[in-house]
Structure 1
Amino acid sequence: MAQAQISDTQDDARLTPQGTGTPSAQCFSIAPMLDWTDRHCRYFHRLMTSQTLLYTEMVTTGAIIHGKGDYLGYSEQEHPISLQLGGSNPADLARCAKLAAERGYDEINLNVGCPSDRVQNGRFGACLMGEPALVADCVKAMRDVVDIPVTVKTRIGIDDQDSYEFLQAFIEQVRDAGCDTFIVHARKAWLSGLSPRENREIPPLDYPRVYKVKQDYANLTIALNGGVTSLEQTLEHLQHLDGVMMGREAYQNPYLLAQVDNLLFGQNNAVPSRHEVVRMMLPYMEQELAKGNYLSHMTRHMLGLFQNMQGARAWRRHLSENACKQGAGIQVVLDAMAKVPEFPQIEAVE
């Protein structure tokens, strides 16, 4: 597939989001997505972009402190990487932040955006927007014990508390506790009456409100999340903001990440083909299989790699039907890849 065509004006803007000069990792990131952005997914994404900031799935403080597994595990190749924490107890968050910093994470992010009932019952996520003093205490507790950045991912409002003044008050109180980076989902959260799935589309996104946050708080780093489906849109948002966080599109159409370093970070890297990305993933797969991990846990993140290409459906079907079988190895991946013509890469008619 041909690379996206970016206008000269947009192309020049890629290096200076909101006039800040050379872009940082916050310029572009992939959203933390529960059950999606696990360590296998992040390793796969990193093969296509070295600069993008990657986020873990949200991990609760309870899981880290009381769980039996290693909820902080990741590969060194995943840097820069941010741990997203879910919780509302300042002491517990500080304890987890300190553990994460000791493990080498590049950033700690507090979830103040998830609207699900399960998260609300745990008193974290979007419901915390209604308790800015508590969020401030949480941020300060973490800032007091780590030297790495502590950031907050939030919404523009919750339920009927959706005025710009409400958002301002929240940001100012959390800022005064030491947070200088906010990732703002441009849709308010409905904590009752809508399911999280419905809340993905209702109410409408309000990008101008996030732009106004940056205008009014120029000294803060403000990134936008919600509804971004292309790098062209990303460049447009970067005319107003410091960063963009992409979610489902980056997961479902991961090959767009192969253009990120050059288009958004001003690199001049050779762009690997889709087949080359698969080949680069094979040693990692072999290593994980040797540890007793399942092939399907890795290949499920790769199903969209050949999106819109001839053979994409056969690639997905072969992996879906065979990677889950007992004893499945990398030959399954090689056989699936063989179903996609490497040259020329012709757009599929599906």
Structure 2
Amino acid sequence: MPLNAATEGARLAVAPMMDWTDRHCRYFHRQISRQALLYTEMVTAPALVRGGAVHLLEFDADEHPVALQLGGSDPSELAEAARLGATAGYDEINLNVGCPSDRVQSGTFGAVLMKTPALVADCVAAMKAAVDVPVTVKCRIGVDDQLVEETLPAFIRQVADAGCDYLIIHARKAWLQGLSPKENRDIPPLDYDLVLRMKSEFPRLGMSINGGLETLAQAEDLLARGMDGVMIGRAAYHHPWEVLAEVDERVFGMKRASHTRYDVLDAMRSYIDAHLQRGGKLHQITRHMLGLFAGQPGARAWRRVLSEHATRPGADFGLIERALEAMQIPDRIAG
């Protein structure tokens, strides 16, 4: 089944990452790729519905296409949170069924929900009934001692029957006891072949693969092998230019005017100025930009200047120009 227009961006998506993919990070990434689908950090349904933290839904219109990831396990609460997200203008509402942290488990959501696929199906059905935008699920291949060859297809079948529009599968198990969240991103072995088999077994369900991907070439290979989409996390954050700069043309077939890292910085100028005028701090944005020159001469100087000085009172866009000077590269940002 072809992807609908709202999920076409899923061919290449930047993963939701706590403390990383906030609105400033997403705006920065959008200056590099116009087509990649961007995700919020996980926002809990209780925070929105019971806590009234609707400020967590704020984003810039230039971030589109952008998806809201929700955490929760109460169908009615998730439905209301999804409604708030759709009203705020998000292009997709995603349910987190993959985070293994203790804090998430204690709230009975995240990866622990893979043990209760019927509950996930109820959550998806409730969210679908509440909004008109796509409702998607991000999960693991399984948790703990589950026999994933059996439990994963059963899980997929139930959420698909409940109306899930699209599924993103992190190709690792999550171990709910004994491994930290960081270890759960590295230690459980990747099983891309299992996810590819799931796509073959459920051809009508749009499906992306996530986990351990570091290059655009790897993403292209998995797309060529039958996946509808690929989601990249840490590599897109730490090496944004290498991962995202050619995505629009190579993955989406969209020609765009030649652009450089300097064009990205130029595009960030007005955004940074507006943020500072509202009382924001420079480091809230530049902390996401440290990897822009990763692998280039002078990259260490770029990171050092921004890391050491962006938190200081009065720091503004001029610090970015100083960081470029420290790299011993001529200032190529337009005035």
Same fold, TM-score > 0.5, yes or no: yes
How well do the aligned residues superpose, as a CA RMSD in angstroms?
1.8
**224-233 or 267-276, larger mean C-alpha shift:** 267-276
8 Å contact 1:254–1:305 — kept in the other structure?
yes
SS at match of 1:301: coil
The residue that corresponds to 1:109 in the other structure is 94
CA shift, 1:340, in A, is: 3.1
Distance 2:92 2:25 in 1: 19
**Aligned counterpart for 1:64 among listed residues 40, 48, 51:** 48
SS at match of 2:55: coil
**Aligned counterpart for 1:48 among listed residues 12, 29, 32:** 32
Percent of matched pairs sharing the same residue: 54
8 Å contact 1:59–1:71 — kept in the other structure?
yes
Alignment-mate amino acid for residue 255 of structure 1: W
1:121-136 aligned within 5 A: 121-136=106-121
CA shift, 1:342, in A, is: 4.7
TM-score in terms of structure 1 length:
0.90
Distance 2:292 2:238 in 1: 8
Distance 1:21 1:168 in 2: 23
Distance 1:224 1:283 in 2: 35
Unaligned runs of 5+ in 1: 1-17, 346-350
1:273-312 aligned within 5 A: 273-312=260-299
CA shift, 1:271, in A, is: 3.3
The residue that corresponds to 1:79 in the other structure is 64
**Aligned counterpart for 2:150 among listed residues 165, 178, 181:** 165
CA shift, 1:310, in A, is: 1.0
In 2 relative to 1, CA 80–19 (structure 1 residues): closer, same or farther, beyond 3 Å?
A: closer
The residue that corresponds to 1:25 in the other structure is 9
8 Å contact 2:96–2:111 — kept in the other structure?
yes
Unaligned runs of 5+ in 2: none
1:156 aligns with 2:141: yes
1:206-285 aligned within 5 A: 206-239=191-224, 240-256=226-242, 257-285=244-272
SS at match of 2:138: strand
Count residues in correspondence.
Answer: 327
In 2 relative to 1, CA 87–19 (structure 1 residues): closer, same or farther, beyond 3 Å?
A: closer
**Aligned counterpart for 1:37 among listed residues 18, 21, 24:** 21
Distance 2:123 2:54 in 1: 24
The residue that corresponds to 2:304 in the other structure is 317
**330-339 or 309-318, larger mean C-alpha shift:** 330-339
SS at match of 1:34: coil
Distance 1:337 1:128 in 2: 47
8 Å contact 1:155–1:187 — kept in the other structure?
yes
Moved segments of 4+, more than 4 Å? 18-23
Alignment-mate amino acid for residue 121 of structure 2: A
8 Å contact 2:79–2:126 — kept in the other structure?
yes
CA shift, 1:193, in A, is: 1.2
TM-score in terms of structure 2 length:
0.94
CA shift, 1:21, in A, is: 11
1:332 aligns with 2:316: no
Distance 2:19 2:175 in 1: 22
